[in-house]
Amino acid sequence: MSYERTIWEKIADNLRSRSMWMLHYCTGCGAVELPPSMTSRFDMERLGMGPMATPRQADIFLITGYLSVKTLRRVIYTYEQMPDPKYVVGFGSCTINGGIYYDSYATINRVDYYIPVDLYIAGCMPRPEAIFEAFTELMRMIRKGEAIGWKKYKENYEWYKQNQLKSLGEVYVHDEFHE
Amino acid sequence: MTIFKVAAVLLTGFFVGLTLEGIARKIIARVQRRYGPPWYQNFIDVFKALSKHGFSHGWIFDFGVLMALGGVIATLSFVPLGNLVAFPGLDNVFVVLYLFAVGALGMAMGMVGSGNPNASIGVARALTQMLGYEVPYLVSLAAIIFYYKTSSISNLMNLQADSWNLFKMPIGAAVAFISLMGMLGKKPFDTPIAPAEIASGPMVELSSKYMGLLMLMHTFSIFVEISLFVDIFLGGGSYLVFLLKFTVVWIIATLISAVLPRFRIEQVVKFYWRVPLGLAFLQAFFVLIGWVF
C-alpha cells in the first residue's frame, strides 16, 4: 500500500529519515540492547538518531519486549500523544507473537492488533547489529514513503479501538498520574 | 542599509550557530570515542521538526514561543559582530541585557502555559539559575564599565586595541566565562533541562514546529551570549576574526562540558554566589585601586 506524495512531502520524508528521535518503552528485557547501540561501540548518533525524553518530541516509538494488559494501556496513551509522522518498531519476538510468554494470562501476543507497527525485529533479544539493520531499513521505508502506520491508524481507527476495547475493557488508565 | 546589516547578522546567527552546534555534537562524540553525527545534523533536525504536525496547548503557549524567538532575534540584531554593527550607537550593554530578558520571559510564559508540571519545574530551575549567574556576571561587567567609563559595546571593543580585557582583567574574564557556561546551559549547569530527571524540563510538551522554533531560539541565544563575551573580553577586529574567536570560545566551552556531570540546582546557586561572586568583587576592588595590567 502506498500513497501519492507531493514534492514537499518527499523532501520532508528525506529529512525525517535522517533525524529520527526515539522514545523507548522499556517494558521487557529488550531495553538492555539499547545502551550498546547508543554508546561508543555502535554509536547510533551517527545516523542522526538519539533518545528523547517525552512522546511529544519523539518520531519513532520502540516497544522493547512483551506488553502486559496493564502496560498496553500506557502504550496506547503514549502512541496517541506523539505528533503525526510517527513510526513504531517492535523489538524482539514478544511483540510479534508473545515470544516465550505466549500462553501467559496477561500478555499481549500481537501488538499489531492494537497499534500499527511499521517494522519488527525478530530475535530474543536482537543484537545491536540486528537493531542497526532494522533502523537502516526503517530509514529506507521512510524515504520511500512506505512507513505509513500513522495513516493506517487514522483510517482504521474504529478497528483498532474495537480491538483495544475487546482486550482491555477500557483504555482509560486509573492511577495517581492520570486522574 | 540597516536592514541588510540586520539580515546579515541574523543569517550569521542561523548558519554559524547551527553549524557550530553540529560541530559541538561531533566534538562530544569524539571525546566519547564515537564517530558522531555529520556537522549539518542540526539543520536537518530543525527542518524536520518544522515539517511535523504538532499540538498546541492554548494561545498562551503559541504566543510564548513566538515571544521567545522574537525577543532573542531582536536582541541579536543589537549585538555587534566584530565590525558588523547593525545599529551603531545603540549597541549598549544595557540594551542587550534588557532585551534578552524578553526572550527568557517569553519562554517561561509559554512553557508554563503548557500546564505540564515538569515544564514548571524546569522554568523555575532556569530562573533560579539565572539569579545565580547574573549577579557575578554583572559585577564583573560593572567593573569594566566603570574602568572605561562607557557602556557601548563597540566602544569597549575599540578601547581594547592595545591589550584584551582577558589579559587586563583576568579574574573578571574567568568569572564571565564561568557565568557564560551557566547561560549556555552547558554541562555542569544544565540543571534546567535535565532529561533524565524532569523529562527535559521546559521542552517537555514541545512538539513539531514549537520544538523547531525553540531550537532556533536556543541557537540565537547562544550566539548572543558568546558574542557578548567575545566583544567585551577578547577585543575587536574584523567580522572574520570575530567568528574565529567565537569558534574558539565555543569549542572550549564544549570540551569542558563534555567531561563534567550535572549540579543540582541549589549547588549551582551556592557555587555561583560563593566562588565567582567573590572573585568578581575581588576584580572590582582591583579596578577601583587601579591594579589593571
Which grid coordinates are listed for B268? Answer: 549551582
Residue B5 has pLDDT above 80, yes or no: yes
**Which residue reads 502555559 in cell numbers?**
B113
What is the full per-residue pLDDT of chain A (179 aa) written as tens digits?
Answer: 567 788 888 888 888 888 889 888 877 777 788 888 888 888 888 888 888 888 888 889 988 888 888 888 888 888 988 888 889 988 888 888 888 888 888 888 888 888 899 888 888 888 889 889 999 999 999 988 888 888 888 888 889 888 888 888 777 777 666 65
What is the mean pLDDT of the segment spanning B201-217?
87
Contact B200 A57 (CB under 8 A): yes
Contacts of B196 in chain A (CB under 8 A): 53
Grid cell, residue B21, equals 552546534
Contact list in B for residue A82 (CB cut-off 8 A) is 207
| Cβ-Cβ contacts under 8 Å, A39 against chain B | 32, 34
Does the distance separating the beta carbons of B48 and A18 come in below 8 Å?
yes
Q: Which three cell numbers stand for residue A25?
A: 518503552
pLDDT at A178: 62
Grid coordinates of B213: 522554533
When pLDDT is averaged across residues B66-81 and rounded to a whole number, the result is: 90
Chain B partners within 8 Å of A19 (Cβ):
41, 44-45, 48
Taking an 8 Å Cβ-Cβ cutoff, which residues of chain B contact chain A?
A: 25, 29, 32-38, 41, 44-45, 47-48, 51-55, 195-196, 199-200, 203-208, 211
The pLDDT of B55-83, averaged and rounded, is: 88
Q: What is the pLDDT of residue A176?
A: 66
Nearest to A83 among B38, B52, B195 (CB): B52
Give the integer Cα–Cα distance in Å for B20 and B253: 12
At B159-177, the pLDDT tens digits run 887 888 888 888 889 999 9
SS3 letters for B229-285? HHHHHCCCCCHHHHHHHHHHHHHHHHHHHHCCCCCCHHHHHHHHHHHHHHHHHHHHH
Is A35 at the interface with chain B, CB within 8 A? no
Residues of A in contact with B205 (CB under 8 A): 54, 56
Contact A53, A20 (CB under 8 A): no
Cell numbers at B192, concatenated: 534546567
CA distance A136 to chain B (A): 15
pLDDT computed for residue A1 by the predictor: 55
Determine if the pTM surpasses 0.90: no
Residues 6+ apart with CB under 8 A from B75: B96, B99, B100, B102, B103, B220, B221, B224
For every residue of A116-129, DSSP letters joined together read --SEEE-SSSPPHH
Contacts of A45 in chain B (CB under 8 A): 25, 29, 34, 36-37
Checking ipTM against 0.85, whether it exceeds it is no
What is the number of residues in chain B? 293
Pick the residue of B48, B53, B190, B204 with the most A CBs within 10 A to test the interface with A by mutation.
B48
Q: Which residues contact B195 (CB under 8 A, 6 or more apart)?
A: A51, A53
Peptide bond into A38 cis (omega under 30): no
Residue A118 sits at φ, ψ, to 5 deg, of -80, -35
**Residue B121: how many CA atoms within 13 Å on its side-chain side?**
16
Half-sphere exposure (Cβ direction) of B267: Cα atoms closer than 13 Å: 9
Chain B interface, mutation test: which of A26, A44, A54, most B Cβ atoms within 10 Å? A54
DSSP B128: H
Asked whether the beta carbons of residue A45 and residue B29 sit closer than 8 angstroms, the reply is: yes
Task: Tell me which chain A residues have a C-beta less than 8 angstroms from the C-beta of B208.
Answer: 83-84
Cα distance between residue B239 and residue B85, in whole Å: 10
C-beta atoms of B200 and A83 within 8 A: no
Average pLDDT over chain B, rounded to an integer: 88
pLDDT in tens, B221-230: 999 999 989 9
Counting residues of chain B whose pLDDT is more than 90, the rounded percentage is 26
Q: Where are the domains of chain B?
A: 2-288
State the distance between the two ends of chain A, measured CA to CA, in whole angstroms: 39
- Its CATH class, for the domain covering A7-168, is alpha beta
pLDDT digits (tens, 9 = 90+) for B248-274: 999 999 999 999 888 888 899 999 999
Confidence of residue B149 (pLDDT cuts 50, 70, 90): confident
Contact of A176 with chain B, judged by CB distance below 8 Å, is answered with no
The SS3 of residue A68 is strand
Mean per-residue pLDDT, B178-185: 89
Nearest to B52 among A18, A39, A84 (CB): A84
pLDDT at B136: 92
Mind listing the pLDDT tens digit for each residue in B100-114?
888 888 888 888 888
Strands (E), A26-118: 50-51, 60-64, 67-68, 87-91, 107-108
Rounded to 5 degrees, φ, ψ at A25 are: -95, 100
Burial B220-258 (b: 16+ CB within 10 A, else e): bbbbbbbbbbbbbbbbbbeeeebbebbbebbeebbeebb
B44 or A100: which carries more pLDDT confidence? B44
Residue B170 in contact with residue B140, Cβ under 8 Å?
no
- Which of A93, A124, A123 is closest to A109 using CA atoms? A93
Judge: A56–B206 Cβ closer than 8 Å, yes or no.
yes
Chain B: closest CA distance from residue A100 (Å): 32
Q: How many percent of chain B have pLDDT more than 70?
A: 100
CA distance linking residue B216 with residue B80, whole number of Å: 20
Contacts of A102 (CB under 8 A, 6+ apart): A109
Which is it for the CA torsion B280, B281, B283, B288, positive or negative? positive
Cα–Cα dist B259/B243, whole Å? 25
User: For residue A66, what is its C-alpha cell?
Assistant: 512483551
Q: Which residue has the cell 566583544?
A: B231
Q: Least CB-CB distance to A83: which of B34, B45, B208? A: B208
What is the torsional sign of CA A67, A71, A72, A76? Answer: negative
Predicted pLDDT at B46: 92
Q: What is the pLDDT of residue A179?
A: 57
Domain boundaries, chain A: 7-168
